[in-house]
Amino acid sequence: MKPSYAMPSEKDMERNRLLCIVEGASARIIFNLTSGAFLVGLLKYIGASDTVCGYIVAIPVLAAVIQFLSPIILESLKFRKNIITLGCLIHRFLLASLIIIPFLPFSVNLKLWLAAAMFFLSYVSVSFVNPAVSNMYVSFVPQNIRGKYFGTRESYLLFSATIVSLILGKVLDVFEEQGNDIIGYLIVYGVVFVFAIINTLSFYKMKEVPLVHTKERIKISEIFTLPFKNKTFVNFFIMSVIWNIAIQIGGAFFSVYLVSDLNMNYTTITLLGMGNSLVYVIAARFWGRFADKRGWPVTTLLSMGILGICHTLWFLSFQGSPVLIVLLTLAHFAGGAAWSGVNVALFNLQFVFTPDEKRTVYIGFSAAASGIIGYLAAILGSQLVGLFEGSPITVFSLTFNIKQILFLCSALLLFICAGYIFLFMRKKNSNED
């Protein structure tokens, strides 16, 4: 006889929502400390060039290809917390293990290959369960408070991640000045390990809501045919493709640009990030309330437009500019305002444009397919950086760094993406999910 399962009470659901914040905060801290300037710094310590950094930083996008296959297993499961916990545990403990690589008695090339492999396996693991994580979290939050809740959650995530990043950025600067970079990275990755434990415990304590599921496993053919039979989803998918190209073509080089081209130290980078996060925390609550009133499509449109302005400011920032710090500050403020809306909006937008039945098929297909296209855009960006690095590009008597050109391309594509949402998606009612 199968054991009976008691549905979560309202008190359990409130506890789940609190644990979602704890889980998200620990995950965001780990992400911050193992990506961006922190990751680039470790890779450069090992011996990576800017081009190699670009390839490795973009790996998470490629790893999303596993989401083509995840619905085959996930969609037939009524309860998914155990597999989610395992996937996230593998992901975060592999990230924590990156600190071992500098100590290995291998050549620089072999160390970088090993770092790339661990990074890839880590993100394959978490990408496999990501559609299930999204579904589980939405099941904890009633439709009428999703905007407010996820907006508030984002503000807590960014606040906690920024404080930890600021402290450890200063730690890295102190040890770098002493010529003991590796001691700084040991401390950083020790903190990553602690938060990986907190993250795992957060999942363990959650009480699941039974989800809509299929009694038979999804066929591989359905993964590639079912999404294109739904015209509403196709609109979302096209938008997702444009978005991924826009973000990935230059996304790997923002941190590289700060470290390699503008020669910023970790403290300055983290202070700029703190300004970004301050705006993010303030704006996240606004976007949540705005989405509850105007819907997720309009929220996505406006936040993407602001992000386009942010990337334009990055394009205008160059070494020697008398207003460099002003432009970078404005770019980080605009980025905070934009990303606080984009992160919440894109998470919820997928539920507006996908049906309840077999939802992981749609979410997985979109993430995998648009991710592959985004990774190809990232590869193109890395190839262009490798080709033109050290060779200034002159346009109308003005000289630009290749990374600046990529930032401009990203900005233009973001404006196109916002325009596409305005024309084809903005009238979709968020309550139709």
The reported pLDDT for the residue numbered 1 is: 39
Q: What are residue 398's phi and psi, to 5 degrees?
A: -105, 140
Count how many Cα atoms sit within 13 Å of the Cα of residue 128 in the half-sphere of its side chain. 21
Residue 215 scores a pLDDT above 70: no
Burial 248-270 (b: 16+ CB within 10 A, else e): bbbbbbbbbbbbbbbebbbebbb
107-116, 217-226, 227-236, 374-383: least confidently modelled range: 217-226
Pairing of strands 398-400, 393-395: antiparallel
Average pLDDT for 213-228 = 77
Across the strands, what pairs with 395? 398
The reported pLDDT for the residue numbered 235 is: 94
Rounded CA separation 410/408 (Å): 5
Average pLDDT for 367-393 = 86
The reported pLDDT for the residue numbered 342 is: 93
Per-residue pLDDT tens digits for 104-124:
999 999 999 999 999 999 999
Helix and strand numbers (H, E) in the chain are: 17, 2
Domains of the chain, by residue range, sit at 10-204+219-432
Residue 433 scores a pLDDT above 50: no
CATH fold for domain 10-204+219-432 = Growth Hormone; Chain: A; (1.20.1250)
Whether residue 287 contacts residue 299, with contact meaning beta carbons closer than 8 Å, is answered with: yes
What is residue 398's three-state secondary structure? strand
Per-residue pLDDT tens digits for 309-336:
999 999 999 888 889 999 999 999 999 9
DSSP 262-327: S---HHHHHHHHHHHHHHHHHHHHHHHHHHHHH-HHHHHHHHHHHHHHHHHHHHT--TT-TTHHHH
Q: What are residue 27's phi and psi, to 5 degrees?
A: -65, -40
Rounded CA separation 128/125 (Å): 5
Residues with Cβ within 8 Å of residue 228, at least 6 apart in sequence: 234
- pLDDT class for 47, splitting at 50, 70, 90? very high
Per-residue pLDDT tens digits for 122-158:
999 999 898 888 888 888 888 888 888 888 888 888 8
Q: Which amino acid is at 117?
A: A
Per-residue pLDDT tens digits for 348-357:
898 889 887 7
The reported pLDDT for the residue numbered 98 is: 95
The reported pLDDT for the residue numbered 395 is: 75
The reported pLDDT for the residue numbered 66 is: 84
Comparing CA positions, the residue from 233, 79, 255 lying closest to residue 165 is: 255
Q: Which amino acid is at 236?
A: F
Per-residue pLDDT tens digits for 261-316:
888 877 788 788 888 888 988 898 788 889 888 889 999 999 999 999 999 999 99
The reported pLDDT for the residue numbered 246 is: 96
Residue 79 scores a pLDDT above 80: no
Helix (H) or strand (E) holding 172: helix 146-177
Comparing CA positions, the residue from 248, 241, 236 lying closest to residue 409 is: 248
3-state SS of 277-291 is HHHHHHHHHHHHHHH
What percentage of the chain exceeds 70 in pLDDT?
Answer: 95
- pLDDT class for 5, splitting at 50, 70, 90? low
| Average pLDDT of the chain to the nearest whole number | 87
Rounded CA separation 147/295 (Å): 9
Per-residue pLDDT tens digits for 384-431:
988 887 788 877 777 888 999 999 999 999 999 999 999 999 876 544
Whether residue 315 contacts residue 327, with contact meaning beta carbons closer than 8 Å, is answered with: no
99-113, 189-203, 341-355: least confidently modelled range: 341-355
The reported pLDDT for the residue numbered 28 is: 93
Residue 339 scores a pLDDT above 90: yes
Average pLDDT for 221-246 = 92
Residue 3 scores a pLDDT above 60: no
